[in-house]
């Protein structure tokens, strides 16, 4: 009988611990700088388990600011003066000037994606395509993910340049995701090369 009570007590404690960890991790808000992101310091931050707000990028309007509706009030923040934001699903969006990019992978390089409309025919046919970008870390400039740009991020490491060329045959191959290792193949490759 005592062992059953102990098991119940341990189970209740585990549930409370997991729920507090889960609700702690579920936050949304704006990071003004990369240092704020590293420190976990959010402006207009919420606990997603108990609060709601909206973050609007205002892209279709061509505006140079985002709008955060927090506590029922709109707040406009200049994109060029904002590092990025985190949504309740833990998705991170980062700004580079007026443009925004979704962070998809963090490793030796940070990999971002952006949906772009591409014209497919002279008659005006178009489709959305995913374009890949990267930065060496969260504070560096975001550039298109290409073999040339990637080598430029490691300008003096010619052995690495040769290894990249032997492993990745085209710019498109840099955007491949490794399902087994749960990261982009380029970041797994950097891990195998000891690049951090």
Residue of 25, 185, 169 whose CA lies nearest to 105: 185
> Residue 21's pLDDT is what?
44
Can you tell me the distance from the alpha carbon of 96 to that of 63, in angstroms, rounded to the nearest whole number?
A: 14
Percent of the chain residues past pLDDT 70, beyond the cut: 87
pTM reported for the whole predicted model: 0.81
pLDDT tens digit sequence for 118-146? 777 777 778 889 999 999 999 999 999 99
- Residue 48 has φ and ψ, to the nearest 5°, of -65, -20
Residue 81: the pLDDT is: 95
Please, what is the Cα angle at 134 between 133 and 140, to 5 degrees? 130
Tell me the average pLDDT across 98-110. Answer: 95
Structural contact between residues 87 and 54, judged by C-beta atoms closer than 8 angstroms:
no
3 against 65, higher pLDDT: 65
| pLDDT computed for residue 17 by the predictor | 47
Helices (H), 69-157: 147-153
Q: What is the pLDDT of residues 137-195, one digit of tens each?
A: 999 999 999 999 999 999 999 999 999 999 999 999 999 999 999 999 999 999 999 88
Residue 146's pLDDT is: 97
Distance CA 3, CA 15 (A): 18
């Amino acid at each position: 009988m005592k062992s059953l009570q102990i098991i119940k007590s341990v189970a209740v404690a585990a549930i409370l611990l997991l729920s507090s960890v889960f609700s702690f991790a579920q936050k949304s808000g704006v990071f003004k700088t990369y240092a704020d992101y590293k420190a976990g310091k959010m402006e207009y931050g919420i606990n997603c388990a108990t609060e709601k707000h909206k973050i609007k990028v205002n892209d279709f309007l061509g505006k140079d600011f985002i709008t955060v509706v927090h506590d029922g009030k709109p707040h406009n923040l200049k994109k060029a003066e904002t590092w990025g934001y985190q949504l309740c699903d833990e998705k991170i969006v980062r700004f580079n000037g007026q443009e925004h990019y979704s962070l998809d992978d963090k490793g030796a390089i940070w990999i971002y994606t952006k949906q772009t409309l591409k014209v497919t025919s002279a008659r005006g046919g178009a489709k959305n395509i995913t374009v890949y970008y990267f930065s060496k870390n969260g504070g560096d400039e975001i550039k298109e993910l290409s073999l040339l740009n990637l080598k430029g991020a490691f300008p003096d490491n010619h052995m690495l340049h040769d290894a990249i060329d032997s492993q990745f045959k085209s710019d498109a191959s840099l955007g491949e995701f490794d399902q087994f290792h749960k990261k982009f193949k380029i970041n797994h490759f950097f891990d195998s090369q000891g690049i951090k």
